[in-house]
Amino acid sequence: MVTFEDGTDLIDLLGLVDELESLLGVSVDVMSGAVHGPVTDRARRDARPL
C-alpha cells in the first residue's frame, strides 16, 4: 500500500511496480492506501513492508 503524492499518475504507478519487481525479483501488487473495503482489508493483512 502506497500513499501517493498529488499529481501521481498511472505512468508513475507502473514505473514503481516495474522498479520494485526488478529490485525484489518477485511480482508485486501496488495499491493506494486511501482505498477502503473488503479487498483492502485482505490486502492490509497480506501486505509486507519494504
What residues does each domain of the chain span? 10-46
d(CA 38, CA 50): 23
Residue 44 has pLDDT above 90, yes or no: no
Residue 19 has what pLDDT?
Answer: 96
pTM of the model: 0.69
Give the pLDDT confidence of 3-40 residue by residue, as tens digits. 888 999 889 999 999 999 999 999 988 877 777 788 88
d(CA 34, CA 24): 24
Residue 1 has what pLDDT?
Answer: 77
What is the residue whose three cell numbers read 482505498?
35
Residue 18 has what pLDDT?
Answer: 96
Residue 41 has what pLDDT?
Answer: 84
d(CA 33, CA 15): 18
Least Cα distance to 8 among 40, 36, 34 occurs for: 34
